[in-house]
Each structure stands twice: as structure tokens, then as C-alpha cells.
Structure 1
Amino acid sequence: MFDERIRELRHSLGINQVEFGKRLNVTKQCISNWENNNIMPSIDMLIRISKTFSVSADYLLGLENRQTLDVSGLSAEQILHLQALINDLKRN
């Protein structure tokens, strides 16, 4: 599950393995090994990955299926706009 989640999230950002590796200060081969389910990252790296994608470690590990959206720093009005957009996208 982890391998699928990070590949999906990396693609959603539109970055390749090299770019993702640079963000985490690891090699492309390390990213490739994670995505091919050859190795798992350390706990510290798992935390860095979850922060990079703004998802929980539980989501990355497949323990939960719900993604969350960090809205800290946004006004109540901005949050309502986001919620309306999300609801509209779910309907379509």
C-alpha cells in the first residue's frame, strides 16, 4: 500500500523520482526502491514524506483511507470556499 500511495501522491504533484528525492535529500534509487516495495523508509523519513505530501503517516501506510487537508492559517471564509469547492467536485 505504501508504494502505491507515494507513487500516486508524487504523480499528483507532477514530480518525478529525482525531484522527489531532492525534496527529501535522498537518491532516485531510494525513491524507486520505496515505490517498488523493495524497502520501507525509516520512521524519521516516513514523517518527512507525510509532511511533504501533507498527509498522515497512517494514510501512507494504508491504515486509513481518508486524506486530510491542512487549512491552518486560512480564514473561516476561505475554509468555507474550499468546502464548497470540494462538495462541488464530489458531485461531478
Structure 2
Amino acid sequence: MEHYLGEKLKKLRESRGWTQADLAKRLNKAVSTVSGYESDAHAIPLDVLSSISSLFSISTDELLGLDAPELLSLSGLTEDQKKTLVKLRDEFLAPSQQGNDLSPQQMEILHDVIKAFG
């Protein structure tokens, strides 16, 4: 994912029809700084990342490429399968109280997944 952020910034800028000078003015930066951001010659400070995400109405996760690259479609799944996936997501995103071992709830959900999709 080398050069991702600079390329993303350039695409966002161009999608608005802006020049580097236009973006620089909106960010209160020099054109050379924006050019450096787009070529990945300069690291973008966190406050500028925040300004860029606000300016383009996207999350910083999306700007940094941390959002899900593809989403799985739930169409074609049964209601039981959908409910099981929601439980799976919720349980495994929750912080573990027991270290690396699976909780009884997590074991039950894995059993449900095997049963629902097996």
C-alpha cells in the first residue's frame, strides 16, 4: 500500500476539480507542502489529516485506507445466519475478560456459526 495516502489525496482533490493551489489555500498550507503530501515526500500531520477528512467529508479511516475494502453482502442469508453473524461480530469485537481463551459465549457463537453455515 505504498503511496496510498498521497494518491488518495490527489484523487480527492481532482474529484473536486481543485488544483494543488486550491487545496493548499483551504488547508492554509504552501502549494509545495500539498505537493509533498501527494507525492508522499512529506508525512501529513494528524491535525491536517483531520482537516482533510472534514474538507472531503470522509472519515480518517477511509482517508488512511483503514476502512473495509469490501463489504460482504448479507443478501441470500437466512435470518438465523444474519443474527449469528451479528452476535459473532459483537462478541469478538468486545474486549476479552479472560485473556486469550474463548469465553463460553464465544464458544457458543462459534458452535452456532458452524451449525448455521456448515
TM-score band, normalised by shorter chain: 0.5 to 0.7
User: For structure 1, which runs of at least 5 residues remain unmatched after alignment?
Assistant: 67-92
What number of residue pairs does the alignment pair up?
66
Q: Tell me which residue corresponds to 1:35.
A: 38
Question: Is the alpha carbon distance of 1:27 and 1:61 closer, same or farther for their aligned partners in structure 2, counting shifts above 3 Å?
Answer: same
Q: Tell me which residue corresponds to 1:6.
A: 9
Alignment of 1:73-84 (within 5 A): none
Question: Is the alpha carbon distance of 1:43 and 1:7 closer, same or farther for their aligned partners in structure 2, counting shifts above 3 Å?
Answer: same
TM-score by length of 1: 0.68
Q: Is 1:46 matched with 2:37?
A: no
| RMSD of equivalent CA atoms | 1.2
Give percent identity, aligned residues only: 36
Q: Tell me which residue corresponds to 2:23.
A: 20
User: For structure 2, which runs of at least 5 residues remain unmatched after alignment?
Assistant: 70-118
| Distance in structure 1 (CA, Å) of the matches to 2:57 and 2:43 | 19
| Distance in structure 2 (CA, Å) of the matches to 1:25 and 1:39 | 16
Question: Is the alpha carbon distance of 1:64 and 1:19 closer, same or farther for their aligned partners in structure 2, counting shifts above 3 Å?
Answer: same
Out of 62, 66, 81, the residue aligned to residue 63 of structure 1 is: 66
Pair member with larger Rg: 2
